[in-house]
Amino acid sequence: MEKEAVTLYKRYEKRIVGHLALGLILYLLITTAVVLADYGVRIGLLLLARTLGWETQSFSSLATSFSDSYWSMILGALLGVFFLKFWMQQSIPMPALFFERKKMEPAVLVSFLCVFAAGQLLFTGFSYLLEFCLNLIGLSSASAIEQATGVMTEPSMILYAAVLAPVTEEIIFRGYCLRCAQQFGRNFAIIFSAALFAIMHANVPQAFFAFYVGIILGVITTEYSIKYAILFHLINNFAFGELLELMLSGLPDRLHEISFYLLFGMFAFCAVVVIILYRRQIVRYIRSGHSIRHTYLYAFSALPVVIFILLCLVPALMMLDKI
């Protein structure tokens, strides 16, 4: 009888997470198709202009300006989220994603912010360690790190990375992914959604940071509301990313580096203090959210989940350079 119950649980979990992962795969295909269609239209216009003997300088200029922009990614992300809304409508209506369990007190908000921001320093340390290990086998993650930390200059890039991406990614991962997985255990839902969030970035060094902040954002969403997760994500991408880099951009490289380590070193110190002060509550929270045995195995072995991981892993590995 117990074996039959385990089998039913396994099938049910695989069906639920499989449906979710299939939606994520289709989301990837939609966003990719929009970007490719954008490139295809621009290339077609350039070829048509050359065939007809028109002045191609203006067309080339137009094509270059669009190739350096994120407008197609913005459109793709919006269409993708719109699709997921209908894909998950029966199990999780979108209004349910924004349910607020309780208000976050200012002191709690500051505590979470310190732990959240400490991830910037952890990401830097992990990047150095990863680069060292990859260099031992003749590879480098320099291109991946540059993509993850590069400064945006075009308005469309800033709009996408600093504003739209935080909102859409939270709806997808702390919204649909976390809520869908929550029935199999709180800890599992937080870790599962954070893992998919990290994998979705298709960037090996950035995945570490995405998983770390995904855990924190998952706790925030579970205990408070996705609204706070969106706020923290906006702070990370806009304030800690674009705005901070703009403020430090005029400094010499050495002073720029010192300022970065001082700022996020302060956050990291405060994060350690917060963890020490709340260590008992943290341990109790972890222990109270355990899942049934093999829950993680069932989820990550579901075929759509495996396909989703491979679709994101291939471009991530392709970004590693030979040295």
Please say if the pLDDT value at position 1 is more than 80: no
pLDDT higher than threshold 80 for residue 3: no
Q: In terms of Cα–Cα distance, which of 257, 75, 91, 97 is closest to 172?
A: 97
Model confidence pLDDT, tens digit, residues 98-150: 998 999 999 999 999 999 999 999 999 999 999 999 999 999 999 888 888 76
Q: How confident is the model at residue 40 (pLDDT cuts 50, 70, 90)?
A: confident
User: Is residue 187 a contact partner of residue 289, using CB atoms and an 8 Å limit?
Assistant: yes
How far out from the chain centre does Cα 42 lie? 29
Q: Is the dihedral of CA 61, 161, 305, 12 positive or negative?
A: negative
**Mean pLDDT score across all residues of the chain:** 89
pLDDT band at 25 (very low <50, low <70, confident <90, very high): very high
Q: Whole-angstrom Cα distance, residue 110 to residue 154?
A: 32
Q: How far apart are CA 148 and CA 183, in angstroms?
A: 33
| pLDDT given at position 238 | 87
How many Cα atoms are found within 13 Å in the side-chain-facing hemisphere of 126?
16
Percentage of residues of the chain with pLDDT beyond 90: 67
pTM of structure? 0.92
Write down the pLDDT at residue 151: 66
- Cα–Cα distance for residue pair 267/117, rounded to 1 Å: 6
Give the pLDDT score at 61: 58
DSSP classification of residue 202: -
Question: What confidence score (pLDDT) does residue 173 get?
Answer: 97
Closest CA to 119 of 275, 228, 274, 268: 268
* pLDDT of residue 291 exceeding 70: yes
Range 167-193 average pLDDT? 96
Phi and psi angles of residue 140, each rounded to the nearest 5 degrees, phi first: -145, 145
Residue at 38: amino acid letter: D
Residue 293: its pLDDT value, please?
85
- Tell me the pLDDT tens digit for each residue of 186-243: 999 999 999 999 999 999 999 999 999 999 999 999 999 999 999 999 999 888 877 7
- Assign residue 302 a region (left: φ > 0; alpha: ψ between -120 and 50; beta: otherwise): beta
Task: Tell me which of 16 and 241 has the higher pLDDT.
Answer: 16
- Contact 152/242 with Cβ under 8 angstroms? yes
Helical residues (DSSP H) of 235-302, grouped into ranges: 244-248, 253-277, 279-287, 295-300
pLDDT at 303 over 90: yes
> Which residue range forms the structural domain that includes residue 118?
2-322
Cβ partners under 8 Å of residue 194, min gap 6? 173, 210, 211, 214, 215, 217, 218
322 φ, ψ to 5°?
A: -85, 145
* CA 141/CA 127 separation, integer angstroms: 8
> What per-residue confidence (pLDDT) applies to 70?
78
pLDDT at 285: 96
For residues 197-230, one letter each, b for 16 or more C-beta atoms within 10 angstroms of the residue's C-beta and e for the rest, the string is: bbbbbbbbbbbbbbbbbbbbbbbbbbebbbebbb
Query: Domains in the chain: how many in total?
Result: 1
Reported confidence tier of residue 244, pLDDT bands at 50, 70, 90: confident
Q: Taken in order 313, 315, 320, 322, is the CA torsion positive or negative?
A: positive
* pLDDT of the residue at 46: 74
pLDDT per position as a tens digit, 48-103: 777 776 655 555 555 555 555 678 899 999 999 999 999 999 889 998 999 989 99
**pLDDT number for residue 57:** 57
Task: Give, rounded to a whole angstrom, the gap between the first and last alpha carbons of the chain.
Answer: 57
Radius of gyration for the alpha carbons in the chain, expressed in angstroms and rounded = 22
